[in-house]
Amino acid sequence: TSDNGGPLNLGASNGPLRSGKTHMYEGGLKVCTGVRWPGKIAAGRQTEFRALTMDLLPTLAEICGVPVGHSIEGRSFAPLLFKGEQLPLGRTDFFTWKEKSLAIAVREGDWKLVRDRDDLRYELYDIRTDPLEKNDVAAKHPETVERLRRSLETTLGASIRNN
């Protein structure tokens, strides 16, 4: 796996996904992950299941039978690996990148709110129907934009408002 999409300025290809590393579009966030364990995990299985790198620790701990004795944000996706199915992890995911300006995004279910740079307005995408983020539907769903924007501000706080 990787921590984010490839850098387009260095010749990386993120396939049909929009944009690349340091950006909040799927080309900058979504990466594939490969898991191999002959005799334990079925070969050739593919899924669109969404997890984050922080989910690796609880997954590996569960597989190894090691209890995690403190609170962590990650969640195990071991059932997906061994049974081939798992309920969504049921959380809201927040993404930030600060270089010269602040790029932020929040993903809740199929909704994704993006502000790719400080000088840009919020964009809203339904990733289920528009995985390539070609159709900004913010004007059609102002209540969803506002709800997700408030969620970003509550979670990320002053870092959003002061940048």
Total-model pTM: 0.86
What residues are paired with 162 via a beta bridge? none
**What is the reported pLDDT for 4?**
87
Q: What is the pLDDT of residues 26-62, one digit of tens each?
A: 999 999 899 999 999 999 989 989 999 999 999 999 9
Q: What is the pLDDT of residues 70-115, one digit of tens each?
A: 999 899 999 999 999 998 888 899 999 888 888 999 999 999 999 9
Calculate ∠ Cα 125-109-149, nearest 5°: 60
Would the pLDDT of 140 be above 90? yes
- Alpha helix positions (H), the chain: 26-29, 56-64, 78-83, 142-156, 158-161
Sheet with 111-115: strands ordered across: 92-98, 102-108, 111-115, 123-126
**What is the reported pLDDT for 159?**
59
Would the pLDDT of 143 be above 90? yes
